[in-house]
Amino acid sequence: MTEEEKYLFDLKGFLVLRDVVDADTIARANSAIDSHFDQIETHERQFEGGSQALASEVRQKWCDEMVTWGKPHGEPFRELMVQPLIKPYLAELLGSGYRIARQPRLIIMDRGCAGHYMHGGQVDRQGFEYTYRAKFGHIYCSHLLVEFPLADEGPGQGGLALIPGGHKANYPIPQSLRDYEAYQDEIVEVEVKAGDAVIFAEITIHGTMVWNGEHQRRTLLYGYNPGYQGGEEPLLKASYPEYVQDMTEEQRTMLRPPV
């Protein structure tokens, strides 16, 4: 990670990297998704919240199971966990020993699909599990996201949107901005092509615009954490030695794994 990239990441809370993933990997990932498409379900959650600007009857489809697909369909998604061009950024921003925070996520949006309200910022994200700080010349992040688009996004098609500097915002997000109903000029609709990558901290204020592209939006979202932080979902099955099972529930709770 160059000094200029560190400057820009600290300044804006995200970086767009061009031509990170080769065409073969993109093709294999898309082919695997096509093969499993009937297993990918429409997400029930209304990600637009109360926003009129981001609402639609067309819902996003999510899938978190790609790395479980085995060979050959799981392979491209597993390879992207350790993408060689991304690793130096993870090491710099999370420290050595970084780990995956949750199973990689696929987000699919068809034309007209509803967006996701803007979220993040220092006020919304005060815990260490979703934070950002730069101190004594070092950047510290938790829950760092890497988005690999499997299809082109933009311009004007919607999709990933970020507020530069939102990872350092010290005041609550105005509701109209959260809903994308005012201050739209402050929001950057990220223009990327399949094969690019976007690195951003979960705390960077971000969301998703209504998808206006003719083609299907497909994007992969990989979340990483420092080695000392658990993830959103425990990926490892935890068990306890017998002496812990003999404790009171309150005592046992103190010995739980980090999540």
Partner 1 sequence: MNDDEKFFFDLKGFLVLRNVLSDDTIARCNEAIDRHAETFFETDRRLEGESKTLGGSARQKWMEGMLEWERPWCEPFRELLVHERIAPLLAELVGSPRLDHGPLLIAMDKGDGGHALHGGAVERQDFSQTYDFKYGKMSCGLTTVEFQLADERPGDGGLAIVPGSHKSHFPTPRGVALYEELQEHVKEIHTEAGDAIIFTEAVTHGTLVWQGGHQRRSLIYKYNTGSQAHAAGYHRSEYPEYARDMTEKQRALFRPTGR
Contact pattern from residue 156 through residue 195 relative to partner 1, giving x for each residue in contact according to CB under 8 A and a dash for the rest: --------------x-------------------------
- Compute the distance between CA of residue 209 and CA of residue 55 in angstroms, rounded to an integer: 10
Nearer to partner 1, 55 or 100 (CB): 100
Instruction: Return the amino acid letter for 60.
Output: Q
CA angle, corner 69, sides to 65 and 72, nearest 5?
A: 140
- Compute the distance between CA of residue 187 and CA of residue 205 in angstroms, rounded to an integer: 9
In the complex, what is the shortest distance from the CB of residue 65 to partner 1, in angstroms, rounded to a whole number? 9
Determine which residue in the list 95, 154, 164, 165 makes contact with partner 1, applying CB under 8 A: 95
Q: Is 45 in the site for partner 1 (CB under 8 A)?
A: no
Nearer to partner 1, 60 or 122 (CB): 122
In the complex, what is the shortest distance from the CB of residue 157 to partner 1, in angstroms, rounded to a whole number? 31
Query: Do residues 162 and 190 lie in contact, with contact meaning Cβ atoms separated by under 8 Å?
Result: yes
Q: CB atoms < 10 A from the CB of 104, how many?
A: 20
Nearer to partner 1, 7 or 128 (CB): 128
Task: Output the DSSP codes for 158-187.
Answer: -EEEE-TTGGG--SPPPHHHHTTSS-GGGP
Nearer to partner 1, 204 or 229 (CB): 229
Q: Is 68 in the site for partner 1 (CB under 8 A)?
A: yes
Q: Which tokens in the block code for residue 196?
A: 């690019």
Determine which residue in the list 24, 38, 52, 243 makes contact with partner 1, applying CB under 8 A: 243
Burial class (CB in 10 A: 0-12, 13-18, 19+), 192: buried
- Picking from 144, 186, 192, the residue whose alpha carbon sits closest to that of residue 1 is 144
Q: Is 148 in the site for partner 1 (CB under 8 A)?
A: no
Determine which residue in the list 72, 88, 156, 258 makes contact with partner 1, applying CB under 8 A: 258
Task: Output the DSSP codes for 84-148.
Answer: TTTHHHHHHHH-TT-EE-S--EEEEE-TT---EEEE-STTT--SGGG-EEEETTEEEESSEEEEE
Report 103-142 residues binding partner 1 (CB under 8 A).
122-123, 126-129, 131, 133, 135-136, 138, 140, 142
Q: Where on the chain is the footprint of partner 1 (CB under 8 A)?
A: 67-68, 70-71, 74, 78-79, 81-82, 95, 97-100, 122-123, 126-129, 131, 133, 135-136, 138, 140, 142, 170, 224, 226-230, 235-241, 243-244, 247-248, 250-251, 253-259
